[in-house]
Amino acid sequence: MAHANNKPNPLVVWLFTTNHKNVGILYLVTSLYFLVVAGILALTFRMQLSAPNMVFLAADSYNQAVTLHGLFMLLWVTTPLAAAFANYVVPIQIGAKDMAFPRLNALSYWLYLASGIVALSSFFAPGGTADWGWTTYAPLNTLQYSPQAGGSLMGLAILLLLSSTIVATSNFMVTIFRLRAPGMKLSYLPLFSIFWLVTQFLLLWAFPAFAAPLLMLVSDRVLGTVFFTAAEGGALLWDHLLWFFGHPEVYILVLPGLAIAGDVLAVFSRRQLYAKKVIIIAVSVAAFLSYVVWVHHMFMTGIHPGLREVFNITTELISIPFGAIMLSYILTLFGGRIRATTPFLFALGSVILFIIGGASGVFNSSVALDVGMRGTFWVVGHFHYTIVGGGITGLIAGLYYWWPKMTGRMFSEKLGKLHFAIYMIGFNLLYFPMHLLYDMPRRIFFYDATTGWGPINMLITMGSWIFASSFIILFINLINSLRHGPKVGDDPWGGANYSLEWNVPSPPPEFNFPKGVPVITAQGLEFRQPWEIKMGITTTGGQQLYGTTALPTNGGSHVAEHGEEHGPHLSPWPFILSIGVALTMIGLVFGVPLLLQGVVIFIASIVGWAWEDVKEKFHVAIEALGEKWPFDRVENVPLGMWFFLFGEVALFGPLFAAYFFVRANSAYTGFAWPLPGQIHSTVMGAISTIILLTSGLATSLALVAIKNNNQRGLKAGLLTAFILGLAVLFIEGFQWAELFAEGYTFGTDIAASIYYLITGIHGAHILAGLLIIIYLLAKAYKGGYNAEKHMGVYAFAIYWGFVVGVWLFTFPLFYLI
Amino acid sequence: MREEWQLVAIYTVIIAALVAEVIVGSSWMTLGQTALIGVLVIAKLQAALVFTFFMFGKYGTRSVALIMLISVSTLLPLFLAFAFSIEFPPHAVAGGR
């Protein structure tokens, strides 16, 4: 944090922190809070289903409880809980001092919290919150069936959460690829860091892809577009786009927990993982396959039979890599000297439950069986075994495993084991009998005694209470350990030769490695000083091998490590910006005053952030001293931009796919798609294209200029790009105004809807680019760039090139063909 | 100055491609489906040039190009799945357009 003689208030520290460990703890506390909220919602609707003819919740309240439970568990609990551990331990495991972009890391958290608050506030909207089920199927998600404003607010909350995730993903990618310690190859990393990297790739392409249908949904509900009410789009459009995100999402939820299970099994078996390379290959194959299995969620939608066969096969194929991973885990245990501690028990439980869930899933991959089981409680049982059993149980193993590292205190093993016993009893009582309800529809809130479902439902509800009570033991144990738990050393589990976090104090100091930069050599782990690494000195006194020799000390302070003090590790802007965004979102539904306040705070925070940057008030030296493969030649900032743009491809791609679908469908529905030139002026479109291309050239020339230390060239190029970008926005606005005046509005027809959405999102990207140019110009006028230091300009050139590239497809689709 | 002139040359090529694109697109009455394919091919070529030169993809590592390729490739199954879902009964809201 700040310097010893100027220690800030603890509240300020927690609100303004950018330190990865603090951010991790914030994620942990928040995700556990949301877990409790989602759990309470589950208990209420389980009560409603506990017996025939039950009157505990009204139909709409039941639907709202189920919807929020599902959405919260998937989006606000499981992945953020994994992100808590990832924030805390991944930088340490790779040998870094912090994340590549600490302020963006804080921003990810605050946007996540803001999105959760917006989602919960939807309960208080007139008519309540979303009630369409977590899958948000069309047409249930349309205003006709769900007119309440809370539904729109929920859509906005999810969009906000997605933006938080995209920011975090780019940050983690750059951190893991570029900030590894010297000698730390990717394959040397513990399974959690490797699986987290794979998860980031899944997030990178899945979450922006989900943003596309959500933007359509929100614009349908708020602006009156017709994506999900028109015959050309409708339910099938939503289904494809939702599940294109939804199936990779399953692995996003499961992989971190499974990775923790693998690491914990290895550490507590006192063995290295069996066939680690096979596990890495298997998880990579599974990640790839996860993008070609989604249609198995749609076997009953009336799609082409050939399509069902293909996805039947790909779904069965994906069980092979997971089988290999499970076998490797089991073989790790053979011959190991096992210590059955609480983390180990939860890890083992996670593997067993995941195998049961996987086995029941094989049934669903078959089209024939799926026809019978679709939409029944069998499916509910199956996915809870995989996601809660495999994913969340593994994350609880991680909570126990890293708790002593995070707090410096040990929890009660006795209470931990009691928690495990009750957790497993409750879990299996809750979810296993669901398989017996293979004839009970999952989307009903009421049934009568003649169905015969009553006794099993009662058993399930009892299981839910037992399962929930196990978490009370967890919280008591952890809270108690904070005050009364015995203090632990660096390595309470004997994992020092497995991963780096067990070679630093518990809890770790601000920049993690007080004894120097960790270096992985043929002999094991050493700590060296940065100047030694920069000068290529290959050995120092006091080397130690993994966990065999006492570590040397050199004073341990950050000054000793780096030879200089850095600015504070605090920034208010991520926190303030998230307040602005949250108020804006809520204001979109609750009224203009809130909206205006939100916009003002948002703009002020952007200006404040940029000013902090221009004045270089925030500076945390995150040097890339070690392994950077395969991105040795791309600096952190441009690489972060590249990853962001890979995600943008996954946003615009589904939008263009939707265009293709609705346009092709129009031939069958009888809708006459406008002829070229009939609605949009080709000449105006071509002029916009030429101007945008010219602005792209100007940006590129600005970059070339600053590479040659030509300050005037830089400023001239950026200014030209700004003026041209503004001109394109003006032309677009003019065209919109003209079309509106002619009565061609958002909801005129499906062609109008897709035109306004794609050009609108593209326009928002131009606007964002113009704001970045203002920042770059301000910094350029302050002399912030030169031949050696111009990565911000480089990153912007990449961004602006992408904006130009997207338009190169937008122009012909709407103006030419 | 070599790099500047190279960028200007690429810009000229893209603008020329734009002119060609407009001509091909405007001839849809005579060219039919060929116009559609031609326009999309030209747009892809333009985008490739923008990626390589305006986005400085040529200075990035092969890994950047590879991940960009994978990013685009992940979308292919979506387009194919949509293509095989087109002629099936539409799922509109009753009374909706």
Among residues A484, A508, A531, the one where a domain terminates is A484
Q: Of A105, A88, A93, which Cα lies nearest the Cα of A618? A: A105
B25 and chain A: CB distance < 8 Å anywhere?
A: yes
Complex ipTM tops 0.95: no
Residue numbers in chain A where pLDDT is lower than 50: 1-4, 539-566
Question: Which residues of chain B does A693 touch, with a Cβ-Cβ cutoff of 8 Å?
Answer: 11, 14-15, 18
Contact between A399 and A355 (Cβ < 8 Å): no
Residue whose tokens read 């893209």: B14
- Give the chain A residue nearest B9 (alpha carbons): A697
Structural domain range at position A758: 605-816
| Chain B, window 40-69: residues with a beta carbon less than 8 angstroms from a chain A beta carbon | 40, 42-43, 46-47, 50-51, 53-56, 59-64, 67-68
Q: Of A300, A319, A313, which Cα lies nearest the Cα of A360? A: A319
The pLDDT score that the predictor gives to residue A537 is 61
- pTM of the complete model: 0.94
The pLDDT score that the predictor gives to residue A60 is 94
Greatest alpha-carbon span in chain B: 63
The pLDDT score that the predictor gives to residue B60 is 67
* Contacts of residue A244, Cβ cutoff 8 Å, sequence gap at least 6: A206, A209, A291, A294, A654, B78, B81
Q: What is the pLDDT of residues A352-372, one digit of tens each?
A: 999 999 999 888 888 888 888
Q: Tell whether A516 is covered by a domain.
A: no
Residue numbers in chain B where pLDDT is lower than 70: 59-60, 87-97
Q: What is the pLDDT of residues A413-469, one digit of tens each?
A: 999 999 999 999 999 999 999 999 999 999 999 999 999 999 999 999 999 999 999
* Contacts of residue A507, Cβ cutoff 8 Å, sequence gap at least 6: A21, A405, A406, A407, A408
Q: Tell whether A403 is covered by a domain.
A: yes
Split into its structural domains, chain A has a count of 2
Listed in sequence order, the DSSP H helices in A436-570 are 454-484, 530-534, 558-562
The pLDDT score that the predictor gives to residue B2 is 85
Q: What is the CATH number of the domain that holds A812?
A: 1.20.120.80
CA-based torsion, A726, A728, A730, A733: positive or negative: negative
- Rounded to whole angstroms, how far apart are CA atoms A486 and A476? 16
Strands A517-521 and A524-528: antiparallel
Q: What is the CATH number of the domain that holds A345?
A: 1.20.210.10
The pLDDT score that the predictor gives to residue A540 is 45
Q: What is the DSSP string of A135-147?
A: TT-TTTTSTTT--
Q: Tell whether A311 is covered by a domain.
A: yes
Among residues A465, A484, A503, the one where a domain terminates is A484
- Rounded to whole angstroms, how far apart are CA atoms A605 and A110? 13
Taking the domains of chain B in order of start, what are their residue ranges? Answer: 1-55, 60-86
Question: Which residues of chain B does A228 touch, with a Cβ-Cβ cutoff of 8 Å?
Answer: 93
- Give the chain B residue nearest A810 (alpha carbons): B43
Q: Of A817, A809, A685, A815, which Cα lies nearest the Cα of B27? A: A817
- Rounded to whole angstroms, how far apart are CA atoms A197 and A203? 10
Q: How would you write A442-473 as a 3-class SS string? A: CCCCCCCHHHCCHHHHHHHHHHHHHHHHHHHH
Phi, psi of A440 (to 5 degrees): -100, 120
CA-based torsion, B50, B56, B59, B64: positive or negative: negative
The pLDDT score that the predictor gives to residue A366 is 86
Q: Of A642, A798, A791, A628, which Cα lies nearest the Cα of A175? A: A628
A vs B: CB pairs below 8 A:
200
